[in-house]
Amino acid sequence: MDASKIKQGIHKSKGGLIRSFVTIENGAIKDIDVSGDFFLFPEEAFFKIIKELKGIPAKRGKIQEIIEKTYEKENIQSPGTEPCDFTESIMKALEDT
């Protein structure tokens, strides 16, 4: 990632802190990284969420839809953290100037 273009967002869910690092190109998510002290089972499914988010339009509705779909498909449980918490963290990054 080119550090100059990375946007950062922080959001705290009941289950932990979610820090997002996002690069945008032509209105789409070019690259994304998330770091945090939340819990999510099964753990490996987290990388599927990240993978699915790459290349999609940087819009709240689309981001939320992709995360929810991956939760359902991978049977994800994340106590104290909802799909909308990840969306919120990413949206905060998108609003970062």
User: Which pairing describes strands 28-36 and 16-25: parallel, antiparallel, or unpaired?
Assistant: antiparallel
Point out which span in 17-25, 52-60, 61-69 binds other proteins (CB under 8 A). Answer: 17-25
Does residue 76 touch other proteins according to CB under 8 A? no
Q: Which two tokens stand for residue 15?
A: 């289950």
Judged by CB under 8 A, which of 6, 17, 24, 45 binds other proteins? 17
SS3 state of residue 9: strand
Q: Which two tokens stand for residue 91?
A: 């949206």
Chain positions contacting other proteins, by CB under 8 A: 10-12, 14-17, 19, 21, 33-43, 46, 77, 79-80
